[in-house]
Amino acid sequence: MNRRITAVIGTVFAGGAAAGLALSAAGPAVAAQFYGGTLHPGEQRCVQQSAQHTVRADGKATGQGAKFKLQYQGATVPGTGSPGLVTAYGAELRDTWAGWPGAGDYTACVTNHGTADTNVRLTLTTDGEVG
């Protein structure tokens, strides 16, 4: 069974003024963090990056899927963990949305809780990289 989860915390602002403000508040771009490879059952991989205003995690997994989560300062951000094994994942946080934990270090993790190997892709982007 393939399952897909996308978590977006907060509300979306409408109008060009809000979009322009969000773009002008974004700091300089930093290279996105990425992991791609095969995870054996029980293995976990994480990527980390600092964010000032915006953070986004995206992931994909083959076969039975994998468990994904987005953490801030070492704790999983509520509403950003997948509900189990999923084959597609996305979570985004912005400082203009309710639920923004704050500027600091963010970590995206993928764990193979299945019984077979799974190929995964995990990307973490922040601030000026998030579209």
Specify the pLDDT at position 129: 83
Report which secondary-structure segment, H or E, holds 124: strand 118-126
Task: Write down the domain spans for the chain.
Answer: 31-106
DSSP track, 12-75: PPPSHHHHHHHHHH-----PPEEEEEEE-TT-EEEEEEEESSEEEEEEEE-TT-BEEEEEETTE
Spell out the per-residue pLDDT of the chain, length 131, in tens: 444 444 444 323 223 333 333 333 444 445 689 899 999 999 999 999 999 999 999 999 999 999 999 999 999 999 999 999 999 999 999 999 998 999 999 999 999 999 999 999 999 999 988 87
Rounded CA Rg of the chain:
15
pLDDT at 81: 95
Q: Which residues are CB-neighbours of 59 under 8 A, at least 6 positions away?
A: 66, 68, 88, 89, 90, 108, 110, 120, 121, 122, 123
At residue 80, φ and ψ (nearest 5 deg) are -110, -5
At residue 128, the 3 state secondary structure works out as: helix
